[in-house]
Structure 1
Amino acid sequence: MKARVTVTLKNGVLDPQGKAIGHALHTLGFLSVGEVRQGKLIELEIDETDREAATATIDAMCRKLLANTVIENYSIELVD
């Protein structure tokens, strides 16, 4: 089973990389761009057939390694 984990900064957490991306886009002439927030996408393949078990395992991975839950949110999408 394949999964996508999207990790983003929580609201209120400063995002200097997002600000740098926004500034670069403005410099390139994309003046309609407002606030930019960056994140990361992690694609996993897991040897599991049960969707609930896969979600639970990936959730544990996120809490232990893939996301800093103090400042980041994450979402899990299972892909068939």
Structure 2
Amino acid sequence: MTDDGTWGIDLHADDVTRFPGVAFVLWRVCGLSPEAGVALADEAQRHGTVRVLDCRTREEAERVVAEIQVLGVRATAATATTRR
């Protein structure tokens, strides 16, 4: 892996997956508490997207996004300065 700056994981609003499901995915993949996962899911629903995690490399961010997406939650990787 190369160190190419900080990359963020953005969670996107989802009309299908319920907050407890999102919280589980964020706990499983990102290590966030269930309470933090529900709060982030709520924020994504209200604002369209929310930053849930920062990674040191693009490769790490893309790996995390893939794990989140495999579990049925919509997420993308973006540079730390990019907000989607």
State the TM-score, normalized to the length of structure 1: 0.43
Bigger proportion of residues as strand: 1
Query: Greater relative contact order: 1 or 2 (C-alpha under 8 angstroms, separation 6 or more)?
Result: 1
Max Rg structure: 1
